[in-house]
């Protein structure tokens, strides 16, 4: 069931979203050659504690997971697409990192993701990340009252496919509110004019995921969480929590 949020609830979600934004900015700024993924997770945890917020990621165990997620931050490096578990791996020059983070504040959740490079960027990685951000922007632009979920999916998929990138099948965005994952699902590819109608008060997480090699295949790493590209090519992930309002889409996790 899709829950419509009140304007007051959307303001509360904005507060949670700004905790997410601050944490991702801190993680991106701290990510450098030699810094470990566990150190980035600890930094994100510090932001949570400082804001009086908690993590919807830590201990999360959906039906597909063999074990609860062990961290507050997802760190997916190079050929990892999403759900990367932070480890002692130390970042190297040229690494591509996708960081996904959530915060729960006063009962409301925010969720966002960014991709960035460490040290000297590869031109192909820059193009991949820029395309992920363009796909996200296209999805947000389509998130208006009167459209449908399929319009968002079509906008994202068109940007990704036109650029020649793959889209991991079965993964996409979602409704969000009191819980991190709510109805409706928000696919990264679809037909315009189809799916659930968009109404004032809906809040969704829009999150394109791109595979550089152009194929859609992926596999689960031995940790039971990290999803990696089958062809070994790199991946990027971009996400915002967005409220659909009568005055247009409002990004609740915007990084100021």
Convert the pLDDT of each residue in 54-68 to its tens digit.
999 999 998 888 899
* 179-197 pLDDT per residue, tens: 999 999 999 999 999 999 9
Residue 13 φ/ψ region, left for φ over 0, alpha for ψ in the -120 to 50 degree band, beta for the rest? alpha
Distance between start and end Cα atoms, the chain: 32
Tell me the pLDDT of the chain averaged across its residues: 97
- The closest alpha carbon to 114, from 50, 38, 30, belongs to 30
How far apart, in whole angstroms, are the C-alpha atoms of residue 134 and residue 229? Answer: 21
**Eight-class DSSP state of 85:** P
* 66-90 pLDDT per residue, tens: 899 999 999 999 999 999 999 999 9
Q: How far is CA 19 from the centre of its chain?
A: 15
How far apart, in whole angstroms, are the C-alpha atoms of residue 244 and residue 226? Answer: 31
How far apart, in whole angstroms, are the C-alpha atoms of residue 86 and residue 30? Answer: 15
From start to end of 17-172, where are the E strands?
A: 73-77, 80-82, 96-105, 108-117
Would the pTM of this model clear 0.85, i.e. be above it?
yes
Q: Which helix (H) or strand (E) holds 16?
A: helix 7-30
pLDDT, residue 63, reads 83
How far apart, in whole angstroms, are the C-alpha atoms of residue 186 and residue 159? Answer: 16
- The closest alpha carbon to 195, from 152, 245, 156, 155, belongs to 152
CA angle 159, 154, 171 (to 5 degrees): 85
Name the phi and psi angles at 155, rounded to 5.
-65, -45
- The closest alpha carbon to 199, from 152, 144, 238, 126, belongs to 144
How far apart, in whole angstroms, are the C-alpha atoms of residue 254 and residue 235? Answer: 22
* 95-132 pLDDT per residue, tens: 999 999 999 999 999 999 999 999 999 999 999 999 99
How far apart, in whole angstroms, are the C-alpha atoms of residue 127 and residue 248? Answer: 28
Name the phi and psi angles at 3, rounded to 5.
-95, 125
Tell me what the mean pLDDT of segment 212-220 comes to. 97
Let me know how many helices (H) and strands (E) the chain has, helices first: 4, 13
């Amino acid at each position: 069931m899709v829950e419509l949020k009140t304007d007051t609830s959307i303001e509360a979600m904005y507060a949670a979203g700004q905790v997410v934004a601050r944490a991702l900015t801190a993680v991106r700024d701290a990510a450098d050659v030699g810094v470990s993924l566990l150190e980035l997770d600890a930094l994100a945890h510090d932001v949570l504690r400082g804001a009086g917020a908690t993590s919807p990621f830590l201990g999360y165990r959906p039906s597909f997971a063999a074990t609860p997620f062990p961290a507050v931050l997802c760190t997916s490096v190079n050929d990892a697409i999403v759900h990367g578990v932070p480890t002692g791996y130390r970042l190297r020059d040229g690494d591509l990192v996708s960081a996904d983070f959530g915060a729960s504040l006063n009962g409301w959740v925010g969720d966002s993701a960014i991709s960035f490079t460490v040290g000297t960027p590869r031109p192909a990685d820059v193009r991949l990340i820029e395309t992920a951000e363009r796909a996200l922007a296209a999805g947000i632009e389509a998130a208006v009252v009167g459209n449908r979920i399929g319009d968002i999916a079509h906008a994202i998929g068109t940007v990704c496919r036109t650029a020649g990138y793959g889209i991991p099948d079965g993964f996409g965005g979602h409704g969000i509110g009191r819980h991190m994952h709510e109805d409706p699902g928000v696919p990264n590819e679809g037909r315009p004019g189809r799916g659930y109608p968009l109404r004032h008060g809906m809040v969704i997480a829009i999150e394109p995921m791109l595979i550089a090699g152009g194929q859609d295949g992926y596999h689960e790493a031995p940790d039971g969480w990290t999803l990696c590209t089958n062809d070994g090519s790199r991946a990027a992930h971009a996400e915002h929590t967005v409220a659909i309002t009568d005055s247009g889409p409002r990004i609740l996790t915007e990084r100021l």
